[in-house]
Structure 1
Amino acid sequence: MSEPTGATPPPSPNRFLFVVPPLVGHINPTVGVGAELTARGHQVAWAGLPEVVGRLTGDGARIYRCPGPLLGEGGAERPPDVRGPGALKFLWERFLVPLAEAMAPGVRTAIEEFRPDVVVADQQTVAGGLVAERLGVRWATSATTSAEFTGALDGMPKIDAWLDRLLGEVRGRIGDPAGTADPRFSPDLVLAFTTEELAGRPVRAGDRIRYVGPSIAERPAAADFPWEWLDPARPTVLVTLGTANVGAGARFLAECREAGRARADRFQTVVVDPAGSLGPAAPDGKDVLALPYVPQLPLLERVGAVVCHAGHNTVCEALWHGVPLVVAPIRDDQPVVAAQVVGAGAGIRVRFGRVRAPALGEALDAVLYEPGYRAAAERVGASFHAAGGPAAAATHLERLAGEATARTTPTSEGER
Structure 2
Amino acid sequence: MSRYLFVVPPLVGHINPTLAVGSELARRGHDVAWVGDARVLHALGGTGLNIYDCATISLEERGDLVGPAALKFLWEHFFIPLGRAMEPDVTAAIQHFRPDAIIADQQALAGSLVAERAGITWITSATTSTELTDPLASMPKVKDWITGLIDELRDELGAPASGHDPRFSPHGILAFTTAELSGTPAIAAERCWMVGPALADDGASAARSDFPWDFLDNDQRNILISMGTVNGATGAAFLRNAAAAIGARPDRYRAVLVDPDGAVADPPSNVLVQKFVPQRALLPAMDAVICHAGHNTVCESLWNGLPLVTAPVRDDQPVVAQQVVDAGAGLRLRFRRATEQHIATALDTVLDPAAGHQAAAARIGQSFREAGGAVRAAEILAGLG
Superposition TM-score tier, normalisation by shorter sequence: over 0.9
Give the Å deviation of 1:370.
3.0
- Any idea what the Cα deviations from partners look like across 1:15-49, whole Å, max 9, x if unmatched? 11111111001001111101100110001111000
Q: Give distance in 2, aligned partners of 1:339 and 1:398.
A: 34
Query: In the alignment, which residue of structure 2 is the partner of 1:134?
Result: 117
Query: In the alignment, which residue of structure 1 is the partner of 2:362?
Result: 378
Gaps in structure 2 of 5+ consecutive residues: none
Task: Write the letter of the residue equivalent to 1:334.
Answer: Q
Within the alignment, does 1:314 sit opposite 2:297 as a pair? Answer: yes
Checking the alignment, whether the CA contact within 8 Å between 2:233 and 2:263 is kept in structure 1 is: no
Among 188, 191, 197, the residue aligned to 2:171: 188
Give the Å deviation of 1:177.
3.8
Q: SS at the partner of 1:301?
A: helix
- Runs of at least 4 residues off by over 3 Å: none
Q: Give distance in 2, aligned partners of 1:163 and 1:293.
A: 35
Give the Å deviation of 1:175.
4.0
Within the alignment, does 1:171 sit opposite 2:157 as a pair? Answer: no
- Any idea what the Cα deviations from partners look like across 1:363-399, whole Å, max 9, x if unmatched? 1111123351110000011110000000000011111
Query: In the alignment, which residue of structure 1 is the partner of 2:383?
Result: 399
Checking the alignment, whether the CA contact within 8 Å between 1:309 and 1:334 is kept in structure 2 is: yes
Among all aligned residue pairs of Structure 1 and Structure 2, give the percentage whose two residues are the same amino acid: 53
Q: Give distance in 2, aligned partners of 1:115 and 1:242.
A: 36
Query: In the alignment, which residue of structure 2 is the partner of 1:204?
Result: 187
Q: SS at the partner of 1:139?
A: strand
Checking the alignment, whether the CA contact within 8 Å between 1:16 and 1:119 is kept in structure 2 is: yes
Checking the alignment, whether the CA contact within 8 Å between 2:244 and 2:268 is kept in structure 1 is: no
- Any idea what the Cα deviations from partners look like across 1:67-89, whole Å, max 9, x if unmatched? 111211xxxx1231x33222211
Q: Give distance in 1, aligned partners of 2:251 and 2:157.
A: 58
Task: Write the letter of the residue equivalent to 1:340.
Answer: Q
Task: Write the letter of the residue equivalent to 2:40.
Answer: V
Larger radius of gyration: 1
User: With structure 2 as the length reference, what TM-score do the two structures score?
Assistant: 0.97
Give the Å deviation of 1:242.
1.2
Q: Give distance in 2, aligned partners of 1:335 and 1:119.
A: 30
Give the Å deviation of 1:203.
1.0
Q: Give distance in 2, aligned partners of 1:232 and 1:366.
A: 21
Give the Å deviation of 1:284.
4.5
Checking the alignment, whether the CA contact within 8 Å between 2:35 and 2:52 is kept in structure 1 is: yes
Checking the alignment, whether the CA contact within 8 Å between 1:273 and 1:290 is kept in structure 2 is: yes
Query: In the alignment, which residue of structure 2 is the partner of 1:25?
Result: 13
Give the Å deviation of 1:332.
1.2
Query: In the alignment, which residue of structure 2 is the partner of 1:151?
Result: 134
Checking the alignment, whether the CA contact within 8 Å between 1:231 and 1:268 is kept in structure 2 is: no
Task: Write the letter of the residue equivalent to 2:367.
Answer: S
Map 1:55-94; keep pairs closer than 5 Å.
55-72=43-60, 77-80=61-64, 82-94=65-77
Aligned residues: 381
Among 299, 304, 315, the residue aligned to 1:332: 315
Q: Give distance in 2, aligned partners of 1:322 and 1:147.
A: 22
Root-mean-square deviation over aligned CA pairs = 1.2
Map 1:188-337; keep pairs closer than 5 Å.
188-219=171-202, 221=205, 223-279=209-265, 284-285=268-269, 287-337=270-320
